A and B are shown apart, each in its own frame.
Chain A
Amino acid sequence: MSTRRSASPPLLAIVRYTVRACVPAQRLLLLLPVAGALLFGLLARIPDDVAAVAFARVGGTAIHTLVLPITCLIVGDALLGAEIRSGVFAFTWLSPVSYATIVVGRWLGGCAIAAAILVPAAAASAIVAGAPSSALAAALAAMAGAGAYLALFIAIGAGFKRPVVWSLVLVIIIERLLGAALAGIAQLSPGWLAQSVLVGLTADGAGLARKGVPAGWPAVGRLVLVAIVGLTIAARRLRSLRPASSAD
């Protein structure tokens, strides 16, 4: 039988709800990013290079190109887009809570899920690669990158009917293809910036830094900025949202 408990502030209620409701039912799936990160950590042992540099070049690139965006895309869609499509979002929308609180609560919940998956995965990857000194930097890069990605995917979920498709367009076409050619796009890309965080905080990693893209802590600052912009757009989009219904 349930025990009585006192009421929670709306923001905390939304964060708790997000962590409970938006984690996939098949929890074992959450181990896939960890397995991927460990594999890329092992691959980083192959190059004949200083371990930390090899990890930043091979493991870091693979994690920030594949593991980070795909994990965030799955979690990010569950945070808002999937609920809007199914109609479940009505339970949250039909409340006096402000749109900003809803968006921030969902984002914080998503960050908690991402942190539980990606931070240990990135740190373990560095250790497996033989670069334990990069573990903290890898964890920070993964967390900061995840925060920015999740904010963007929440904004896409609030603004587009097929958020997964548009999120893939963002990651594959805008970030990977255009971002590889244009530093101006890479400067705002969570994937590129996360890699720059790792590179910037890696000893002897200066040679890996991309020209025109901030590295280390300035990259963390840029990722925070991207996250704030994403959350602001999402909150504004919720104002004009028409949550789906089978009647539509």
Chain B
Amino acid sequence: MTDVHSTDPAFVDDATVEVADASVWFGQKVALSELACSFGPGVTGLLGPNGAGKSTLMRAVTGLIGVNSGSVRVEGRDPRRDREVHRRIALVPEDEAVPAQLTAMELVRYVADLHGVRDPGAAERALELVDMMPAADRRLRGFSKGMRQRAKVAAALVTDPPVLVLDEPLNGADPVQRVRLTELFRRLGAEGRTVIVSSHVLSEVERLADRVLVLIHGRLAAAGNHRAIRDAMDDRPRHVLIRADEPRRLGAALLRIDTVAGVSLTDAGLVVTTDRAGDLAVAVAPVARDLGVRLREVRPLDDSLESLFRELVR
């Protein structure tokens, strides 16, 4: 497998997690469709809009669900059938659900006991890693979403897993904790662990991961480093809204610029279609100045991740 895919950015040479043509469906809904990719040491970001199949992939990788066709292997073993795989892999699920009656310390110790962690100080160290020791003896039911996420991260880290799967781990975290958790995940990746992190926020994945896989409708839409993903974004046609004093005159002038593919006048203003948004941004102001037209607003209409995803699957 490694040789065949050595030039495909969806695959890595030293894979610890291999997904081969995996499909998962729930009744009529296809959650993953013949997905093929692999993950190795370092941080890999899974990017995609809600419902893209990120959580399903992560649950398949950890064995929480089986694949309907294809296969998933973690260090060569089937996570669905081989319980021993769970000594090597940990999941931080996106669900907010936690055993509310337990304290953070009890949850972490419970997971440690299930994994046969003998080190009596492991739970404290795991909680310290996520700055949770001050709240270690508080019950989880009183925790904010961000604190619950950190408690779950501690529960995952207490087993010292070589493969760590994090489903939207920064959800609910405050800005300071986001920075700390991001640094922690990057450090874990640098230590040689396979860290898989999902998010629907591109900038978040950029900070977390060197390698990014983009999932859309259960299929792999793009793969590579975040620059490659950004390039994929920049190459697509975009719509830019321009509000100006004399939109009709400005629109006519803009049509003469190479980067402009089309112009339409709407109630909101002038909507310009371009395949090079950066060049357009540079050109608009001189054109308006030459015409004596006052610009009031220039903003992209479709810069959301969802619009990128739509373009990537067109």
Please, which residues of chain B bring their CB within 8 A of the CB of A39? Answer: none
CB distance A91 to B99 under 8 Å? yes
Beta-carbon contacts under 8 Å, A1-45 to B: 1-2, 4-10, 12-14, 16-17, 20-21, 23, 25
CB distance A242 to B101 under 8 Å? no
The distance from the CB of B121 to the nearest CB of chain A, in whole angstroms, is 6
Beta-carbon contacts under 8 Å, B78-118 to A: 83-87, 89-91, 93-95, 97-102, 105-107, 109-118
Q: Which of A82-90, A132-140, A201-209 makes up part of the contact surface?
A: A82-90
The distance from the CB of A211 to the nearest CB of chain B, in whole angstroms, is 46
Known: A8-B113, A91-B111, A242-B65. A247 touches B98 (CB 8 A): no
Residue B59 lies at the interface, judged by CB distance under 8 Å to chain A:
yes
CB distance A20 to B86 under 8 Å? no
CB closest residue in chain A, given B165: A94
Q: Which of B93, B109, B114: most chain A Cβ within 10 A?
A: B114
Residue B64 lies at the interface, judged by CB distance under 8 Å to chain A:
yes
The distance from the CB of A29 to the nearest CB of chain B, in whole angstroms, is 14
Q: Which of A51-59, A95-103, A228-236 makes up part of the contact surface?
A: A95-103
CB closest residue in chain B, given A10: B114
CB closest residue in chain A, given B101: A21
Known: A7-B117, A94-B90. A21 touches B64 (CB 8 A): no
Count of B interface residues, CB-CB < 8 Å:
48
Please, which residues of chain A bring their CB within 8 A of the CB of B26? Answer: 248
CB closest residue in chain A, given B59: A245
How many inter-chain contacts with C-beta < 8 Å in the A-B complex? 109
The distance from the CB of B153 to the nearest CB of chain A, in whole angstroms, is 13
Please, which residues of chain A bring their CB within 8 A of the CB of B83? Answer: 95-98
The distance from the CB of B145 to the nearest CB of chain A, in whole angstroms, is 13
CB distance A245 to B99 under 8 Å? no
CB distance A20 to B59 under 8 Å? no
Out of A5, A88, A95, A247, name the residue touching B114 (CB < 8 Å): A95
CB closest residue in chain B, given A244: B95
> CB-CB contacts of A73-114 with B at 8 A, as 1s and 0s?
000000000010011101111111110000000000000000
Please, which residues of chain A bring their CB within 8 A of the CB of B100? Answer: 25
> CB-CB contacts of B58-87 with A at 8 A, as 1s and 0s?
010011111000000000000000011111
CB closest residue in chain A, given B91: A94
In the assembled complex, the Cα of A5 lies from the Cα of B106 at a distance in Å of 11
CB distance B64 to A90 under 8 Å? yes
In the assembled complex, the Cα of A66 lies from the Cα of B33 at a distance in Å of 50
CB distance B124 to A94 under 8 Å? no
Residue A120 lies at the interface, judged by CB distance under 8 Å to chain B:
no
Please, which residues of chain B bring their CB within 8 A of the CB of A93? Answer: 64
In the assembled complex, the Cα of A9 lies from the Cα of B115 at a distance in Å of 9
Known: A90-B64, A90-B91, A95-B86. A245 touches B111 (CB 8 A): no
Residue B136 lies at the interface, judged by CB distance under 8 Å to chain A:
yes
Residue B155 lies at the interface, judged by CB distance under 8 Å to chain A:
yes
CB distance A13 to B97 under 8 Å? no
In the assembled complex, the Cα of A21 lies from the Cα of B97 at a distance in Å of 13
CB distance A2 to B136 under 8 Å? yes
Residue B149 lies at the interface, judged by CB distance under 8 Å to chain A:
no
Known: A2-B136, A95-B111. A90 touches B117 (CB 8 A): no
Return the 8 tightest CB-CB contacts between A and B, nearest first.
A13-B113, A247-B55, A95-B114, A87-B95, A87-B97, A21-B99, A86-B97, A4-B120
16 further contact pairs, Cβ within 8 A, besides A10-B116, A21-B102, A94-B64: A5-B109, A6-B118, A7-B119, A13-B114, A14-B114, A17-B110, A25-B141, A88-B98, A91-B98, A94-B63, A95-B83, A95-B111, A96-B115, A245-B59, A245-B95, A248-B26
Name 20 A/B residue pairs within 8 A (Cβ), A-sorted.
A1-B136, A1-B137, A2-B123, A2-B137, A6-B118, A13-B109, A17-B99, A17-B106, A86-B95, A91-B155, A92-B114, A93-B64, A94-B63, A95-B86, A96-B85, A97-B83, A245-B59, A245-B64, A245-B94, A246-B95
